[in-house]
Amino acid sequence: MKDLLQFLLIILCLAIGRFPFLIAISTIFIAGSMQGIGASFISTLSVIFVILIGIFFSLMISKILSKTILKGMPSSFILELPPYRKPQFGKILVRSIFDRTLFVLGRAIAAAAPAGLIIWLFANIGIGGESLLNIIANFLQPMASLMGLDGYILTAFILGIPANEIVLPIILMCYLGGNSLVNIEDTVSIGQILISNGWTILTAINVMLFTILHFPCATTLLTIKKETGSFKWTALSFAIPTVCGIVVCMFTNLIYHIIV
């Protein structure tokens, strides 16, 4: 249990689905604010730096847990190698498809389908002429302001729990007042929408930090629940990185306003 939870905490910040969002924000606000050949280099370094921050927090959390609630003798790991046999490529292919690919896709669909319906309902059902999406965003606005974000960004992260890839489309949908997810591939157009809705370099930095330091996607949470067999460890895996992300964004926001 100890080794498993520490491993899961370490990989939380390395989810592949977070990288496109990080790269897009870095390209728009960091590379876009510079000129010359060094802009792309600095943008790449910023993404790497944010990833290193995530790894640092993961290792630090793992160390703290090993000294507190997971304190005890480390578990041993024994691997017994089976007899060598000539690989059967057909069997390997079939087993990899059914045991891995379809298994993961099944969990992703199970999480994404209800979430898509919820997002549509929030965008299309209103109270007093205002959509539920706007009501939630306004409710979260005070908390988001402390983090250097806005209510729509925080709402998008929450509704994006099925997959990190849909966080940006949800943000764009909110800003454009649409009732379905928006997919815009042109970074220039995305940047214009974000800037016109109040994004600054501080917003971009905090979004990047919270992207790497927040709860894992639903598929990962389902995997944690299956492997640990415990709602407690699943809840901790959700809460710990999220609290770290909130604290880091608040700290960054505070330091920025003190300096500026």
Q: What is the pLDDT of residues 70-85, one digit of tens each?
A: 666 555 556 677 777 7
CB 26 within 8 A of CB 39: no
pLDDT in tens, 38-53: 788 888 889 889 888 8
Query: What pLDDT sits at residue 154?
Result: 94
Ramachandran assignment for 229, one of left (phi > 0), alpha (psi -120 to 50 degrees), beta (any other)? left
Residue 76 lies in a domain: no
Higher pLDDT, 113 or 227: 227
Alpha-carbon Rg for the chain, nearest whole angstrom, is 21
Q: What is the residue range of 140's domain?
A: 2-71+115-259
Instruction: Answer for the pair 57, 13: CB distance below 8 angstroms, yes or no.
Output: yes
Q: What are the pLDDT digits (tens) for 132-187?
A: 888 999 999 999 999 999 999 999 999 888 877 788 888 888 888 877 777 777 88
Domain contains 79: no
Q: What pLDDT is stored for residue 129 in this prediction? A: 77
Please indicate, yes or no, if residue 83 is contained in any of the structural domains.
no
On whether the CB atoms of residues 132 and 151 are closer than 8 A, the answer is no
| Phi, psi dihedral angles at 140 (to 5 degrees) | -85, -10
- Domain-located, residue 92: no
pLDDT at 231 over 80: yes
Amino acid 78: pLDDT: 65
pTM, whole model, 2 decimals?
A: 0.79
Structural domain tally of the chain? 1
- With tokens 């298994």, the residue in question is 103
More confident residue, 115 or 2: 115
Q: Is residue 57 part of a domain?
A: yes
The pLDDT of residue 4 is above 60: no
